[in-house]
Structure 1
Amino acid sequence: MSNELYTLNAEVRADLGTGASRRLRREEKVPAILYGAEKEALALTLDHNKVIKAQEDEGFYSHILTLNIGGESVEAILKDIQRHPYKPKVTHLDFQRVDPSHKIHTKVPVHFLNEEKATKGGNTVAHHVTEIEIVCLPKNLPEFVEVDLAGIEVGQTIHLTDVKLPAGVVSVELAKGADHDQAVVTLNAPKGGASEETTEAAE
């Protein structure tokens, strides 16, 4: 994702309420709210086409974004996105301001590496989570977390404690205690219960 897609122009809106939001959407605009950093919340309007293009990229959901508001650049992360139930339209956005000195609480996607190796012989991978909830300073925010399946064995489950997080990044679940060590991914034998090696041995 280019820096251009990480930067969005926004305007402060005075018209609030459901009727005003409907009018904005008819004009190809997206209503939004910006809050946090102990500052007053701002009601904003963004260009729908720019938002649609940006939200197609995974990084839009975890990267620190720049909102240009009346000549001022504000760093923020996306906290919520609402979509039309069946049309390809974004109907509302929630942004949270980023303070470089304050930790942020968010979720980042998990990228599973070498999955094609793990699934040789008909093995199947069960993804228990696709995102990991984290806390970190803005400067340490990763776009994603990698989980390598190259050495995983049939029947093995990788848990949160097995995932190497970048320096300065803490798992929200693990911070709650050892009993919150969530399963992340499991490698299962082919349907029928036998791996390729077991089948060959039997033959």
Structure 2
Amino acid sequence: MSEFKLEAKIRKSIGKNKVDKLRVEKLIPSIVYAKGKESMPIVLDAKEFDKIYLGAGTSNIIDLEIDGVTKPALIKEVQKHPFKNQYIHVDFLGVDMSEKMRVVIPVVLEGRDSIRVQPSVLMQLVNEIEVECLPADLPSEAMVNVEEMQIGDTLLIKDLDVFNNEKVEVLVDPEEVIATLSEPREEEIEEEIEEVDASDVPTVGEEEEEASEE
């Protein structure tokens, strides 16, 4: 069972006018796709989905409670209104817990705000990787700690924690570089110095005030 649970109902409203009415009622017209099965139109509460989406993202199994029946699924695609804070549609991928699946998961560089070597510039070259495993073994992310990196160091796919997980197959070249640490360029240092110096220059108002005091 998943730690993420989301209630849904079979959606009988089809057509633009009807789905627009659902959105006005703070509901999201959605659909569940599953291999070898007919797609299932459902409807979700927008507020409840927002909470689940924030925690689960697209790489965690969700237990969809559809009219009392539990169906494990992944959030496959989320459509949002271009300028309104509103969900337009959500696609779910139904999951067979007994079959391996391929999923893209995010790469997380842990401790990037605590790198001991400063000044330095951390470049992340890979943001996500594809893995294959049983749904129950699906990691939510691929992580590596970067706090102890030194100038000139590089991290590879094989340095990620999931690479050593026997239950997970990483479908990416293990020698691919995911992050590098380098010295800041001279231009960046000069810009920082200029910004500091500019803050010390008095404004026109400050100059006039100083003159009047004299």
On the 8 A contact 1:77/1:98 being kept in 2, the answer is yes
Larger Rg over CA atoms: 2
On the 8 A contact 2:117/2:151 being kept in 1, the answer is no
What do the CA deviations read for 1:154-187 (whole angstroms, capped 9, x no partner)? 223222233231222122233xxx7xx5431111
Q: SS of the residue aligned with 2:147? A: coil
Q: Does 1:73 align with 2:67?
A: no
Shift of 1:86: 1.7
Question: Partner amino acid for 1:183?
Answer: V
Q: SS of the residue aligned with 2:179? A: strand
Structure 1: gaps (5+ residues): 194-203
Question: Partner amino acid for 1:170?
Answer: E
Q: Determine what percentage of the aligned residue pairs are the same residue.
A: 29
**1:102 matched to which residue of 2?**
99
CA distance 1:184–1:14, shift in 2 (3 Å): same
On the 8 A contact 2:131/2:168 being kept in 1, the answer is yes
Count of paired positions: 186
**1:86 matched to which residue of 2?**
83
C-alpha distance in structure 2 between counterparts of 1:66 and 1:137, whole Å? 16
Shift of 1:129: 2.4
Alpha carbon RMSD of aligned pairs, Å? Answer: 2.4
- If the length of structure 1 is used for normalisation, what is the TM-score? 0.81
Q: How does 1:40-59 map to 2 (within 5 A)?
A: 40-57=38-55, 59=56
C-alpha distance in structure 2 between counterparts of 1:118 and 1:96, whole Å? 38
CA distance 1:114–1:60, shift in 2 (3 Å): closer
Give 4+ residue runs of structure 1 displaced > 6 Å after superposition. none
**1:184 matched to which residue of 2?**
178
Q: Does 1:161 align with 2:155?
A: no
- If the length of structure 2 is used for normalisation, what is the TM-score? 0.77
